[in-house]
Chains A and B, each alone.
Chain A
Amino acid sequence: MRVRRGYCRDPNEDFCSRGLAMLLENKFFRITDRKLDNDMRGVFHVQIISDCEVYKGHFPGDPVCPGVCNMETIKECASLMVGRQLRYESIRQCRLTALATPVVCPEVDVTVSLTEKDGTLQIQGQIADGEQTYMTLKGVVK
Protein backbone atom coordinates (compact mmCIF):
# COMPACT_ATOMS: atom_id res chain seq x y z
CA MET A 1 0.00 0.00 0.00
CA ARG A 2 1.34 3.42 -0.92
CA VAL A 3 1.00 6.24 1.52
CA ARG A 4 -0.02 9.36 -0.27
CA ARG A 5 2.27 12.21 0.58
CA GLY A 6 0.99 15.13 2.58
CA TYR A 7 0.02 18.38 0.99
CA CYS A 8 3.00 20.14 2.52
CA ARG A 9 6.49 19.39 1.34
CA ASP A 10 8.21 20.54 4.49
CA PRO A 11 6.52 18.51 7.22
CA ASN A 12 6.98 21.35 9.69
CA GLU A 13 5.37 23.96 7.50
CA ASP A 14 1.81 24.93 8.27
CA PHE A 15 -0.61 22.11 7.79
CA CYS A 16 -2.88 22.49 4.88
CA SER A 17 -5.82 20.45 6.10
CA ARG A 18 -7.82 21.30 2.97
CA GLY A 19 -10.31 18.58 2.29
CA LEU A 20 -9.68 16.92 5.62
CA ALA A 21 -12.80 17.28 7.72
CA MET A 22 -11.63 16.43 11.22
CA LEU A 23 -14.25 15.42 13.77
CA LEU A 24 -12.52 16.51 16.96
CA GLU A 25 -9.70 18.88 15.97
CA ASN A 26 -10.50 22.36 17.33
CA LYS A 27 -13.49 20.90 19.19
CA PHE A 28 -12.00 18.39 21.63
CA PHE A 29 -8.31 19.17 21.06
CA ARG A 30 -6.23 21.93 19.50
CA ILE A 31 -2.76 21.43 18.02
CA THR A 32 -0.43 24.14 19.28
CA ASP A 33 2.88 22.75 18.10
CA ARG A 34 4.27 19.83 16.20
CA LYS A 35 7.59 18.29 15.39
CA LEU A 36 7.59 15.93 12.46
CA ASP A 37 10.55 13.75 11.60
CA ASN A 38 8.94 13.01 8.25
CA ASP A 39 5.36 12.32 7.19
CA MET A 40 5.39 8.93 8.94
CA ARG A 41 6.41 10.00 12.43
CA GLY A 42 5.75 13.03 14.55
CA VAL A 43 4.89 14.54 17.90
CA PHE A 44 1.94 16.90 18.25
CA HIS A 45 1.59 19.20 21.22
CA VAL A 46 -2.10 19.38 21.93
CA GLN A 47 -4.38 21.40 24.20
CA ILE A 48 -7.41 19.62 25.60
CA ILE A 49 -10.33 22.01 25.09
CA SER A 50 -11.99 22.11 28.50
CA ASP A 51 -15.29 23.64 27.32
CA CYS A 52 -15.88 20.93 24.69
CA GLU A 53 -19.55 19.92 24.80
CA VAL A 54 -18.59 16.28 25.42
CA TYR A 55 -17.96 17.11 29.10
CA LYS A 56 -21.61 18.00 29.59
CA GLY A 57 -22.23 14.28 29.42
CA HIS A 58 -18.91 12.67 30.34
CA PHE A 59 -19.64 13.15 33.13
CA PRO A 60 -21.97 15.87 34.47
CA GLY A 61 -19.91 17.92 36.94
CA ASP A 62 -17.00 15.49 36.61
CA PRO A 63 -15.19 16.03 33.29
CA VAL A 64 -13.21 13.02 32.10
CA CYS A 65 -11.71 12.78 28.59
CA PRO A 66 -13.49 9.90 26.87
CA GLY A 67 -10.89 7.28 25.96
CA VAL A 68 -12.43 6.98 22.52
CA CYS A 69 -11.87 10.72 21.93
CA ASN A 70 -8.19 10.20 22.69
CA MET A 71 -8.16 7.33 20.15
CA GLU A 72 -9.73 9.67 17.60
CA THR A 73 -7.15 12.36 18.46
CA ILE A 74 -4.29 9.95 17.67
CA LYS A 75 -5.89 9.08 14.34
CA GLU A 76 -6.57 12.72 13.42
CA CYS A 77 -2.95 13.68 14.14
CA ALA A 78 -1.85 10.78 11.92
CA SER A 79 -4.29 11.90 9.22
CA LEU A 80 -2.92 15.45 9.28
CA MET A 81 0.58 14.03 9.08
CA VAL A 82 -0.07 12.06 5.89
CA GLY A 83 -2.49 14.58 4.42
CA ARG A 84 -5.44 12.24 4.05
CA GLN A 85 -8.28 10.93 6.18
CA LEU A 86 -7.21 7.70 7.90
CA ARG A 87 -9.64 5.22 9.44
CA TYR A 88 -9.07 2.54 12.04
CA GLU A 89 -9.48 -0.89 10.51
CA SER A 90 -8.40 -2.64 13.67
CA ILE A 91 -6.91 -1.86 17.07
CA ARG A 92 -4.79 -4.70 18.34
CA GLN A 93 -4.32 -3.11 21.73
CA CYS A 94 -5.14 0.25 23.23
CA ARG A 95 -4.26 0.67 26.89
CA LEU A 96 -5.68 3.53 28.93
CA THR A 97 -3.01 3.79 31.56
CA ALA A 98 -4.18 6.85 33.49
CA LEU A 99 -7.37 8.87 33.81
CA ALA A 100 -7.14 11.92 31.53
CA THR A 101 -9.17 15.00 32.33
CA PRO A 102 -8.94 18.60 31.10
CA VAL A 103 -7.77 19.51 34.61
CA VAL A 104 -5.20 16.74 35.11
CA CYS A 105 -3.69 17.10 31.63
CA PRO A 106 -4.71 20.35 29.91
CA GLU A 107 -1.83 19.85 27.47
CA VAL A 108 -0.43 16.59 26.19
CA ASP A 109 1.98 15.27 23.58
CA VAL A 110 0.52 12.95 20.97
CA THR A 111 3.24 10.80 19.41
CA VAL A 112 2.29 9.01 16.22
CA SER A 113 4.24 6.71 13.97
CA LEU A 114 3.11 4.86 10.87
CA THR A 115 4.77 1.83 9.31
CA GLU A 116 3.95 0.07 6.07
CA LYS A 117 3.94 -3.66 6.67
CA ASP A 118 2.51 -6.57 4.71
CA GLY A 119 0.39 -4.26 2.60
CA THR A 120 -1.17 -2.55 5.61
CA LEU A 121 -0.50 0.74 7.33
CA GLN A 122 0.28 0.15 11.00
CA ILE A 123 -0.17 2.91 13.53
CA GLN A 124 1.39 3.35 16.93
CA GLY A 125 0.27 6.19 19.13
CA GLN A 126 0.90 7.50 22.59
CA ILE A 127 -0.62 10.30 24.64
CA ALA A 128 1.52 11.54 27.51
CA ASP A 129 2.71 14.60 29.38
CA GLY A 130 5.74 15.14 31.60
CA GLU A 131 3.95 13.36 34.42
CA GLN A 132 2.52 10.21 32.94
CA THR A 133 1.31 8.25 29.96
CA TYR A 134 -2.44 8.27 29.39
CA MET A 135 -2.79 6.04 26.34
CA THR A 136 -0.80 3.69 24.15
CA LEU A 137 -2.31 2.31 20.96
CA LYS A 138 -1.32 -0.19 18.27
CA GLY A 139 -3.52 -0.78 15.30
CA VAL A 140 -4.04 -0.71 11.58
CA VAL A 141 -5.39 2.24 9.64
CA LYS A 142 -6.28 2.64 6.01
Chain B
Amino acid sequence: MTTSRAINKIENLIPQRPPIVMVDEVLAVEGDVCTCRLTIRQDNFFMEPDGMIAEPGVIEHIAQSASAFAGLRAVEAGATEPPVGYIGEVKNFHLVRRPRAGEELTTMITMGPEVQGVTIISGTTCVSGEVIAETQMKIFVRED
Protein backbone atom coordinates (compact mmCIF):
# COMPACT_ATOMS: atom_id res chain seq x y z
CA MET B 1 0.00 0.00 0.00
CA THR B 2 1.39 3.37 -0.91
CA THR B 3 -0.24 6.58 0.11
CA SER B 4 0.44 10.02 -1.20
CA ARG B 5 0.07 13.44 0.30
CA ALA B 6 -3.23 14.82 1.51
CA ILE B 7 -4.71 11.37 1.59
CA ASN B 8 -6.48 12.24 4.77
CA LYS B 9 -6.71 15.22 7.06
CA ILE B 10 -4.69 14.76 10.23
CA GLU B 11 -7.78 15.44 12.40
CA ASN B 12 -9.30 12.29 10.94
CA LEU B 13 -6.27 10.22 11.93
CA ILE B 14 -5.36 11.33 15.47
CA PRO B 15 -7.53 12.20 18.47
CA GLN B 16 -5.31 15.06 19.68
CA ARG B 17 -6.45 18.61 19.04
CA PRO B 18 -4.76 22.01 19.37
CA PRO B 19 -2.73 23.08 21.21
CA ILE B 20 -1.12 19.64 21.23
CA VAL B 21 -1.25 18.49 17.62
CA MET B 22 2.31 17.41 16.83
CA VAL B 23 1.92 16.01 13.30
CA ASP B 24 0.94 17.99 10.20
CA GLU B 25 0.49 15.19 7.72
CA VAL B 26 1.20 11.64 6.72
CA LEU B 27 3.57 11.76 3.76
CA ALA B 28 3.77 8.12 2.78
CA VAL B 29 2.95 4.61 3.88
CA GLU B 30 4.54 1.47 2.62
CA GLY B 31 3.87 -1.78 4.40
CA ASP B 32 4.80 -1.38 8.06
CA VAL B 33 6.62 1.91 7.51
CA CYS B 34 5.03 5.32 7.59
CA THR B 35 6.55 8.78 7.14
CA CYS B 36 5.05 11.86 8.79
CA ARG B 37 5.87 15.54 8.75
CA LEU B 38 5.73 18.35 11.27
CA THR B 39 6.87 21.92 10.74
CA ILE B 40 7.87 23.50 14.05
CA ARG B 41 5.94 26.72 14.48
CA GLN B 42 6.72 29.49 16.91
CA ASP B 43 3.43 28.84 18.72
CA ASN B 44 4.16 25.14 19.28
CA PHE B 45 3.04 24.01 22.75
CA PHE B 46 6.60 22.86 23.58
CA MET B 47 8.34 25.99 22.26
CA GLU B 48 10.93 27.43 24.64
CA PRO B 49 12.23 31.00 24.84
CA ASP B 50 15.40 29.98 22.94
CA GLY B 51 13.36 29.17 19.81
CA MET B 52 13.68 25.39 20.14
CA ILE B 53 11.12 22.93 21.43
CA ALA B 54 11.62 20.95 24.62
CA GLU B 55 12.79 17.35 24.26
CA PRO B 56 9.44 15.76 25.29
CA GLY B 57 7.89 17.58 22.33
CA VAL B 58 9.97 15.40 20.01
CA ILE B 59 8.76 12.27 21.82
CA GLU B 60 5.16 13.47 21.46
CA HIS B 61 5.74 14.07 17.75
CA ILE B 62 7.02 10.50 17.30
CA ALA B 63 4.10 9.11 19.33
CA GLN B 64 1.56 11.06 17.30
CA SER B 65 3.22 9.96 14.06
CA ALA B 66 2.65 6.36 15.17
CA SER B 67 -0.88 7.33 16.16
CA ALA B 68 -1.51 8.81 12.69
CA PHE B 69 -0.24 5.59 11.12
CA ALA B 70 -2.60 3.54 13.29
CA GLY B 71 -5.38 6.02 12.50
CA LEU B 72 -4.81 5.66 8.78
CA ARG B 73 -5.04 1.88 9.03
CA ALA B 74 -8.19 2.16 11.15
CA VAL B 75 -9.84 4.59 8.72
CA GLU B 76 -8.96 2.35 5.81
CA ALA B 77 -10.55 -0.52 7.74
CA GLY B 78 -13.75 1.53 8.03
CA ALA B 79 -13.44 3.29 11.40
CA THR B 80 -15.13 6.68 11.68
CA GLU B 81 -13.19 7.97 14.70
CA PRO B 82 -9.41 7.87 15.12
CA PRO B 83 -8.34 5.33 17.77
CA VAL B 84 -7.08 6.75 21.05
CA GLY B 85 -3.61 5.39 21.78
CA TYR B 86 -1.47 5.92 24.85
CA ILE B 87 2.26 5.68 25.28
CA GLY B 88 2.91 2.72 27.57
CA GLU B 89 6.67 2.89 27.52
CA VAL B 90 9.46 4.89 25.94
CA LYS B 91 12.69 2.97 25.45
CA ASN B 92 16.11 4.02 24.22
CA PHE B 93 15.20 7.58 23.33
CA HIS B 94 18.24 9.46 22.07
CA LEU B 95 18.21 13.09 21.16
CA VAL B 96 20.96 14.60 19.05
CA ARG B 97 19.58 18.11 19.23
CA ARG B 98 16.33 19.96 19.78
CA PRO B 99 14.56 21.18 16.63
CA ARG B 100 14.04 24.89 16.21
CA ALA B 101 11.21 27.03 14.89
CA GLY B 102 10.84 26.80 11.12
CA GLU B 103 12.45 23.39 10.80
CA GLU B 104 10.60 20.53 9.15
CA LEU B 105 10.70 17.20 10.96
CA THR B 106 10.35 14.04 8.91
CA THR B 107 9.71 10.98 11.01
CA MET B 108 9.79 7.40 9.89
CA ILE B 109 7.73 5.01 11.97
CA THR B 110 8.15 1.25 11.78
CA MET B 111 5.24 -0.54 13.36
CA GLY B 112 5.65 -3.98 14.86
CA PRO B 113 2.86 -6.50 15.30
CA GLU B 114 0.07 -5.83 17.80
CA VAL B 115 0.04 -8.23 20.73
CA GLN B 116 -2.89 -7.98 23.14
CA GLY B 117 -3.51 -4.33 22.37
CA VAL B 118 0.17 -3.37 22.64
CA THR B 119 2.19 -2.35 19.61
CA ILE B 120 5.94 -1.77 19.62
CA ILE B 121 7.04 0.95 17.26
CA SER B 122 10.35 2.52 16.43
CA GLY B 123 10.73 6.06 15.19
CA THR B 124 13.54 8.08 13.65
CA THR B 125 13.23 11.82 13.23
CA CYS B 126 15.28 13.76 10.68
CA VAL B 127 15.72 17.40 9.73
CA SER B 128 17.05 17.81 6.19
CA GLY B 129 18.27 14.21 6.18
CA GLU B 130 20.14 14.57 9.49
CA VAL B 131 18.92 12.28 12.29
CA ILE B 132 18.02 14.36 15.34
CA ALA B 133 16.17 11.79 17.46
CA GLU B 134 15.26 8.15 17.66
CA THR B 135 13.26 6.03 20.05
CA GLN B 136 11.23 2.91 20.57
CA MET B 137 7.81 2.93 22.19
CA LYS B 138 5.06 0.65 23.36
CA ILE B 139 1.68 2.04 22.42
CA PHE B 140 -1.64 0.91 23.88
CA VAL B 141 -4.77 1.44 21.90
CA ARG B 142 -7.96 1.97 23.85
CA GLU B 143 -10.80 -0.08 22.46
CA ASP B 144 -14.15 1.64 22.90
Which residues of A line the B interface, CB within 8 A? 21, 23, 53-54, 56-60, 64, 66-69, 71-72, 75, 87-96, 99, 139
Contacts and interface: CB of A to CB of B under 8 A. Distances in A.
A139 B90 CA distance: 11
Interface residues of B, number: 31
B93 A66 contact: no
Given A68-B57, A92-B91, 20 more contacts: A56-B17, A57-B16, A57-B20, A57-B21, A59-B15, A59-B84, A67-B63, A67-B86, A68-B56, A68-B63, A75-B56, A87-B55, A87-B98, A89-B95, A93-B90, A93-B92, A94-B93, A96-B87, A99-B86, A139-B93
A66 B55 CA distance: 14
Contact of B89 (A68, A72, A95): A95
A90 B93 contact: yes
B89 A94 contact: yes
B15 A54 contact: no
B134 to A, nearest CB: 10
A125 to B, nearest CB: 12
Nearest to A64: B86
Nearest to B91: A93
A54 B19 contact: yes
Interface in B39-63: 45-46, 48-49, 54-57, 59-60, 63
B90 A91 contact: yes
